[in-house]
């Protein structure tokens, strides 16, 4: 997939690239379809969301092909063709300017979550924690864009912890710069009272919360959550697993799985 910041310049860049594949379609129809690709019911809904964000802290979105094609078919009355379904891809378009974020990696096709509740729960916790950090303006999916304040001298590191919620589930995340534009991210759901003390510690496990997940966000060669062949670091109390695995969370500007970088 391809990702963009939700800014006027990025949307214009995408629209120009899409026009090369659909030169005979109305501008308004392409605008509506691109909004759907970003996860919004209409262009008006997308614009309302953008208006609620500070210009220096835009949101980010993955561009998804199937919602784009479905919305384009709905507004034009022209059914999706087999050629559209097989051939259209945001990854294959030619973009101008620096706005577009590539999210594809060689290992992406190997990443599977459906067959394991534990892997699905790990994925959901990680995506929720990364999304929350982006929402708070601490970092973005783009290389080098770390914005958290100087480290707390009590902890002596370069990381930052932050609290958020997934619906009614309380959560704490911790992020630090792992070098080479990677972020190391730890996420605890149903955190303990002293979660901030433990969440950045290797193998903190249940001292941080009923669920603890950790991993890395790649940002130099593209933006994706790194997934290794072995099981990711993950601990979860049995009674919490099904709820964590059933969450529906869309990544903000990065892929939810890709190559693990050594």
86-107 per-position pLDDT tens digit? 888 998 899 988 889 999 888 7
20 Cβ contact list (under 8 Å, min separation 6): 93, 94
What are phi and psi for residue 190, nearest 5 degrees?
50, 60
What are phi and psi for residue 157, nearest 5 degrees?
-130, -175
Average pLDDT value for residue range 224-228:
90
Q: Which two tokens stand for residue 253?
A: 């500007």
Residue with tokens 């109305």: 26
Q: Where are the alpha helices (DSSP H) in 149-227?
A: 195-198
- Alpha-carbon span 116 to 118, nearest angstrom: 5
- For position 229, what pLDDT does the model report? 67
Predicted confidence band at 153 (pLDDT cuts at 50, 70, 90)?
low
Give the three-state DSSP class for 206. helix
- For position 203, what pLDDT does the model report? 82
CA dihedral (241, 242, 244, 249) positive or negative: positive
Lowest-confidence range among 13-17, 51-55, 125-129, 227-231? 227-231
107 by Cβ neighbours in 10 Å (0-12 / 13-18 / 19+) ranks as middle
- Alpha-carbon span 154 to 39, nearest angstrom: 41
Cβ(245)–Cβ(128) below 8 Å: no
Higher per-residue pLDDT: 55 or 156: 55
- For position 44, what pLDDT does the model report? 96
- For position 231, what pLDDT does the model report? 60
- Alpha-carbon span 126 to 249, nearest angstrom: 10
CA dihedral (19, 24, 27, 30) positive or negative: negative
- What percentage of the chain has pLDDT greater than the value 70? 95
- Alpha-carbon span 102 to 258, nearest angstrom: 12
179-217 per-position pLDDT tens digit? 899 999 999 999 999 999 999 888 888 999 999 999 999
What are phi and psi for residue 134, nearest 5 degrees?
-65, -45
Q: How many CA atoms lie within 13 A of 183 on its CB side?
A: 35
Average pLDDT value for residue range 130-155:
84
Cβ(225)–Cβ(134) below 8 Å: no
Predicted confidence band at 132 (pLDDT cuts at 50, 70, 90)?
very high
- Alpha-carbon span 67 to 1, nearest angstrom: 13
Average pLDDT value for residue range 75-81:
88
């Amino acid at each position: 997939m391809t990702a963009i910041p939700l800014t006027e310049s990025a949307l214009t860049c995408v629209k120009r690239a899409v026009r090369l594949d659909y030169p005979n379609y109305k501008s308004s129809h392409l605008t509506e379809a691109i909004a759907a690709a970003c996860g919004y019911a209409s262009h008006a809904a997308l614009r309302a969301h953008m208006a609620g964000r500070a210009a220096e802290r835009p949101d980010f979105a993955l561009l998804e092909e199937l919602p784009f094609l479905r919305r384009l078919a709905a507004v034009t009355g022209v059914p999706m063709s087999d050629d559209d379904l097989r051939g259209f891809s945001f990854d294959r378009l030619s973009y101008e300017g620096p706005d577009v974020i590539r999210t594809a990696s060689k290992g992406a096709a190997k990443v599977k979550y459906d067959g394991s509740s534990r892997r699905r729960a790990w994925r959901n916790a990680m995506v929720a924690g990364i999304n929350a950090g982006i929402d708070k303006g601490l970092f973005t999916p783009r290389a080098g864009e770390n914005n958290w304040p100087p480290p707390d001298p009590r902890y002596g590191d370069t990381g930052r912890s932050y609290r958020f919620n997934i619906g009614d589930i309380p959560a704490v995340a911790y992020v630090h710069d792992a070098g080479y534009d990677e972020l190391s991210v730890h996420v605890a759901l149903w955190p303990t009272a002293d979660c901030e003390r433990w969440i950045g510690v290797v193998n903190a496990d249940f001292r941080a919360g009923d669920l603890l997940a950790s991993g890395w966000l790649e940002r130099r060669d593209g933006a994706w959550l790194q997934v290794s062949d072995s099981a990711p670091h993950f601990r979860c109390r049995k009674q919490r697993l099904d709820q964590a695995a059933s969450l529906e969370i869309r990544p903000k500007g990065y892929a939810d799985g890709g190559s693990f970088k050594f």
